[in-house]
Amino acid sequence: MKLFFQKPIFAFCLPLLLFSFLVPASSYALAPVDQVCSTGVAGSNLYSFIGSNHQAYQAFVPTKNTLDAVAVRVKSEIGASSTIKMEIIDFLTPPYPTLASMTKTIGNTEEWVTFDFPDVSMPRSGYVVLLKNVNQNEHAIWRQNHGNCDPVGYSGDGETADMSRDFGYAVYAYDSGGNGSNPGSNQPPSNGNPPSGSSPGGNPPSSGPSSPIGTTPGSGQPPAQITSKSIAPPTNLTAGDRGLDYGGAIDLEWKASQTSDIDGYKLFRRAEGDNEYVEIIKLPKTFTKFTDPWAIKDKTYYYTLRAFKGSDESVDSNVAFAASKDDLSGVIKDIQDDFKKNNKGGILGEAGLFLVIPIVIILLIIGLFILGLWVLLHKKKAPPTQPKAIKVNKEMKK
């Protein structure tokens, strides 16, 4: 009997022992952090609301050629858990292929969640980490930093890019030595702390642009009084509340200047009650959208845009204005209240029907058993009817 049990156990353990020797120890560790934004992310009141039809992304420029893993600062906002899908997309090479994808279920406690991909080559210089919810009725949030945490990367919400903010993320990558081995030793980020190997503020990598796609802070000066007729201004400038946020962001969109060799655009803004416009940012000429992240909630702002080349500027575009609103707090509260109302976890909750049916069947079986037992006992106690009939007949004969 002893030998009978020992052989199956040995046969079961042998493959595990061989596997532990064949797999190198380095493959269990994450590669070093290559790109990161972690400072000021934990507990930030800025985040993107992720649903099945609303996705968010973080663009990054790697300095290494092989992707190992990506960590993001997320939590489920509606319900106890959410299933989110991460995709790594090459946004510089049409038709913008997906390099890797992975799905994970997250809880409603904010934490760093690591997606450890099978190592994949990153030959290009620009990629996007995209998050979206898998299930329609689940919603998650992805924390953002208040400042420009990663000067090289930038965040995006839906179709709007925000050059001044970054999501909480960390890219683990390494340069493949030709054998595909992973030389890393860092562990996933711990709850509430920056990912290991990160530097405060997310220093730019040794290569690549020094600021997000050429954007630079504005001068804070009013528009130049002398303009150039040889530079066509941008047109059809529109402004609107970003939506699905707690306020503080205004989306802008315009038609590009018809002058092809401009350097970019200067965005000017005037707050309600102010007397003049001031330059708040310079944007690349490839931009036709921008989100102003410096707006104060419920305050109206006026915008105008100029194309520039060197020190020359076009005339102003049209003026557009908007006020930023907190249109998310009430929505989240309503959804949470509705969720709690319809998912109490009791016998009439979400899974109540599956509990009620078997309970009813069991009660019916017990009831039938008791009824049958009662009938049998009642029959045994009842006196026979035939002797009574005979007694009655004898009395009648007398």
- Whose CA is closest to 243, among 235, 251, 234, 232? 251
Q: What confidence category does residue 17 fall into, taking pLDDT thresholds of 50, 70 and 90? A: very low
What is the dihedral angle through the alpha carbons of 227, 232, 236, 239, rounded to the nearest 10 degrees? -50
The radius of gyration of the chain from alpha carbons, rounded to an integer in Å, stands at 34
pLDDT greater than 70 at residue 16: no
Cα–chain-centroid distance for residue 176? 29
Query: Coil, helix or strand for 42?
Result: coil
pLDDT greater than 80 at residue 183: no
Cα(66)–Cα(174) distance, rounded to whole angstroms? 5
Indicate yes or no: pTM above 0.75: no
* CATH 2.60.40.10 in the chain, residue ranges: 216-341
The answer to whether residues 125 and 213 touch, using CB atoms and an 8 Å cutoff, is no
Cα(164)–Cα(283) distance, rounded to whole angstroms? 12
DSSP structural state of residue 41: T
Cα(162)–Cα(59) distance, rounded to whole angstroms? 10
Beta strands across the sheet bearing 235-241? 235-241, 250-255, 289-292
pLDDT greater than 80 at residue 289: yes
What pLDDT digit, counting tens, does each position of 31-62 carry?
899 888 888 788 778 888 887 777 888 988 88
The answer to whether residues 213 and 163 touch, using CB atoms and an 8 Å cutoff, is yes
- Whose CA is closest to 303, among 217, 294, 151, 164? 294
Helices (H), the chain: 2-22, 329-342, 352-381, 386-397
Cα(88)–Cα(120) distance, rounded to whole angstroms? 10
Average pLDDT over the chain, rounded to whole? 74
| 64: its two tokens | 């290494």
pLDDT at position 29? 74
30-211 belongs to CATH 2.60.120: yes
Q: What confidence category does residue 269 fall into, taking pLDDT thresholds of 50, 70 and 90? A: very high
The hierarchical CATH code for the domain 216-341 is 2.60.40.10
pLDDT at position 61? 83
Angle subtended at Cα 184 by Cα 183 and Cα 189, rounded to the nearest 5 degrees: 170
* CATH 2.60.120 in the chain, residue ranges: 30-211
What's the sign of the alpha-carbon dihedral 285, 286, 289, 290? negative
The answer to whether residues 137 and 129 touch, using CB atoms and an 8 Å cutoff, is no
- How far from each other are the two terminal CA atoms of the chain, in whole angstroms? 85
pLDDT at position 291? 82
